[in-house]
Structures are given as C-alpha cells and as structure tokens.
Amino acid sequence: MPIDPTLPYDDNNIFARILRGEIPSTPVYEDEWAFAFEDINPQSPVHTLVIPKGKYVSWDDFSAKASAEEIAGFIRAVGHVAREKGLVEPGYRLLAKIGAHGGQEVPHLHVHILGGQFIGPMVMAR
C-alpha cells in the first residue's frame, strides 16, 4: 500500500530493519552514507536498491534535512553501484517512488537501479 511521505519516520520499516541486520539481504555496497542490496523481487536482470543510512522518508525529507555530506555520499553510492554493475553503457534507469501517487511502499528513501536490458517506456500506459 502506498505511503504518505509526510508521516514521521518509522523505525520498524523493512529497510530500517535491514540496516540493523534484523532482516537478511544480499549486500552489494556499503559505506558511511549508504547501503545497497539486491531487490528480492527483481523487475530486470539488474535490480539493486540503494538506501541512505539516515532516517529519511522521501527525497523531500532527505533534501530538506540531510547534511551536504550525506547527500553527496548517497548520490556517489548510487553512481558507484551503477558503475560496479557495468551499467553505465549501455545505460540504466534510476527510479525513486515518492508518496502515494508515486507508489512508494516503504517509508525509507530508496533508489532502484534497473538495468541489464532495455527497460521500456518511462511511464506505462493506463
């Protein structure tokens, strides 16, 4: 069910629990600012999630409250994972779902890195 990004951060969301090691994941990358792991329900040959280690619900929350170092570190982590996965050429898609209309299901900011095949149109027809 899509979430309301204006709600306070939920310390029991699945990504917070993955960060604490309470739920297993397949790690891809980790540094001071971000953690990346394989999606358990991949939608393309490469489907990796990158999450900030801070408690942020959405891009709005992150851009308003995160330090410049957190923002730079998170964005660098996304780029690092894409390069390590060999996606720079021929390309890949970044997807961040924000709020109910965006289809966000987990109230922790996350970016999907999708690649390994042609992804298709940007938005599916209704």
Catalytic residues: 110
118's tokens: 């042609």
Q: Respond yes or no on whether the N-terminal peptide bond of residue 121 is cis (omega within 30° of 0).
A: no
For residues 7 and 100, the answer to whether their CB atoms sit within 8 Å is no
For residues 87 and 113, the answer to whether their CB atoms sit within 8 Å is yes
Q: Would you call 90 exposed, middle or buried from its count of C-beta atoms within 10 A (0-12, 13-18, 19+)?
A: exposed
Largest CA distance in the chain: 40
